[in-house]
Amino acid sequence: MTATAAGTATTLALVGATHRTMPLELRERLAFSAEQAVAALAAFQERFPGREAVLLSTCNRVEFYAAGENDQPAPTMDELIAFLADRRGIDPVRLSPVLTRQSDEAVVQHLFSVAAGLDSMVLGEPQILGQVKQAWSLAQELGTSGPLTAGMFQAALRTAKRVATETAIGRERTSIPSVAVADFAAGVFERFDDKRVLLLGAGKMAAETLRYLREAGTREVTVLNRTASRAVELAARLGARPGTFLDLGVELAAADLVVSTTGASEPVVSQDFFAQLEPARHGRPLVVLDLAVPRDFDPRIGDRPGVWLYSVDDLVAACDANRKSRQREMPAALAIIEEETLRFMGDMHHRTTAPVIEQLRAGWNETGAAELDRLFRRLPGLGDAERDEIRQAFERYAAKLLHPPLVSLRTESRSGPPHGLLDALRRLFQLGE
């Protein structure tokens, strides 16, 4: 808790866990569905009225952000842990040791890092930003997000945008399917909406690669598998056309791009087999993403004219290079996080000066109004225009006198709550608490 000398408080608190700090079995129990998140935030509002909360729950993290100020500080860490344990039916004694606890500036810095993808399993991955937005949006809908969390999450979105635009940390692909499509296939084809894609095998890697191809515009997809029922099942799930392995030659001749992930122990497509179907291709380019181990395509096929053949080793090497490229961008990204954290904390600390500033302005305005009233009574012959001119001169004079202490308060706020300066102003101008 960050307390002012007047006894008021402004607090930010966080308890949570990620894939790095909590085992999967316990993380699964702690995770919240959309409906459970709604119920949890409603329960929080009832148990801790006047406090703010945002719940972020993804496959890799569960984090509960809470805030409060003045005479209603955020719940204590123990209260938050007990609340989470109660909502998910977990023994708090078991939950407490594996939960991360953070407060004040550390909460802000952590959230900014999360939103920018710096705390993700895949460095710089963009999906987390959408999840952060959704979590805050739900809190807004339910009324559990107030001025503190709203300011913090708005600043987090701004920070994530800066990291994305001012660094290259999120521009390099780091998964094999994304590299296969964006770095390799897109290096040959300018568009995918007119290309025929052939999936050999029914592995998860093939389905994931197809997802990226769909995002790139792919429409026509054929699935072949040695087990016909498996091909039919996968094709139905992926919105593709099932085929039979007996037609492998015909399908290869018609394809523009092949994604192969079979579990065969020997090449499915030999050099001789490809040479036989090659005339039917009429020289059209062919990209083969051979993600199988052992390889499905004889590597010599990559030497044929118009064939771009990439093995899983090619893709892994590209992923590793991209990861190293992202790591080089970390110092720049962390500098942005630090800058934005200090900026937000300065703004938050400056909030504590608002009551004193209002008292100063109110007192000076009251004194000024009384003096103007006395002056106008002594000078009854003044016209409206002259009275307005004198009134404006008084207001400008008061604003100039107020300007230095206000600037000092904001400057002091950048390095922490300006308790000493606030106390001095209260004593100098005899302000109430």
Asked if residue 128 lies in contact with residue 120, where contact means CB atoms within 8 angstroms, the answer is: yes
Q: What SS3 string covers 144-172?
A: CCCHHHHHHHHHHHHHHHHHHHHCCCCCC
- What is the rounded distance in angstroms from the CA atom of residue 87 to the CA atom of residue 30? 9
Single out the residue of 271, 285, 281 nearest to residue 184, CA to CA: 285
Place of tokens 């290309």: 195
Asked if residue 107 lies in contact with residue 14, where contact means CB atoms within 8 angstroms, the answer is: yes
Q: How far is C-alpha 202 from the geometric centre of its chain's CA atoms?
A: 32
- What is the rounded distance in angstroms from the CA atom of residue 222 to the CA atom of residue 393? 80
List the catalytic residues: 59
Single out the residue of 361, 358, 429 nearest to residue 395, CA to CA: 361
Single out the residue of 255, 243, 257 nearest to residue 201, CA to CA: 243
Q: Is 199 helix (H, G, I), strand (E, B) or coil?
A: strand
User: Residue 327, Cβ neighbours under 10 Å: how many?
Assistant: 12
User: Residue 200, Cβ neighbours under 10 Å: how many?
Assistant: 32
User: What is the 8-class DSSP label of residue 269?
Assistant: B
Dihedral sign, Cα of residue 228, residue 233, residue 235, residue 236? positive
